[in-house]
Amino acid sequence: MTIPDEKIYPRKGDTQTVYLKNVVSRPSIQVGEYTMYNDFVNDPRDFEKNNVLYQYPVNHDRLLIGKFCSIACGAKFLFNSANHALGSLSTYPFPIFYDEWGLDGKNVADAWDNKGDITLGNDVWIGYEAVILAGVTIGDGAIIGARAVVTRDVPPYAIVGGVPARLIRRRFDEATIESLLALQWWDWEPERIRRALPVLQARDIAALSKL
């Protein structure tokens, strides 16, 4: 059993929360099942317009989001075209205005540094108005604090916050984290996950391992 393609709203009467997979259309955005986005300011169906910024085809950069992620209102994903080139004497984006300066129009992307894709693992929680920058990978089970600006990779099951975001603590001890990463419960069949809910909502990793 998977999410029906036509199912957008997980909760009856709630039009602020959507299954993100079923509202994005750009091939450059890939979202796993059951990942949800909530927006009480704008229509959450406009996620790729309002929240995925500076993602232009010239860069071939992707937003990859795993399963069972929770993305709060106003979270932003800033892609490579938001950058300017730092390796030159000037940060002015001359290649964008190639007609003005007699440059080769094929080299527009030289105006910025390309740091790559943005990747979120599974069961990631992105807090209110957090900003994730290009090139960042966020590990499974991580939590990003409200209004954090994430400039570097986040390990699995880490909690980060601040500007720039820094490690606050790990959610679990190392043994528990290793077990969760090995179990990959988010890839289980929905019925198995349903049976495991009492354990998933608790902290009994030994019981989860037996299911």
Task: Please choose, from the candidates 82, 93, 88, 84, the residue with its C-alpha nearest in 3D space to the C-alpha of residue 134.
Answer: 82
The one catalytic residue among 7, 26, 60, 84:
84
pLDDT of the residue at 210: 87
Residue 65 has pLDDT above 80, yes or no: yes
Per the annotation, the verdict on 84 as an active-site residue is yes
Q: pLDDT class for 120, splitting at 50, 70, 90?
A: very high
Q: pLDDT class for 48, splitting at 50, 70, 90?
A: very high
Give the global pTM. 0.93
Give residues with Cβ within 8 angstroms of 143, minimum separation 6: 124, 125, 127, 158, 159, 160, 171
* Sign of CA pseudo-dihedral 33, 146, 158, 176: negative
Average pLDDT value for residue range 94-118: 95
- Domain ranges for the chain: 17-171, 173-211
pLDDT of the residue at 1: 40
Q: What distances in angstroms separate CA 156 from CA 9, 91, 121, one per listed residue? A: 28, 34, 8
Average pLDDT value for residue range 130-139: 98
- What's the mean pLDDT when you consider all of the chain? 95
Q: Which fold has domain 17-171?
A: UDP N-Acetylglucosamine Acyltransferase; domain 1 (2.160.10)
Cα angle, residue 88 at apex, residues 86 and 91 outer, rounded to 5°? 60
Calpha distance 121→210 (Å, rounded):
24
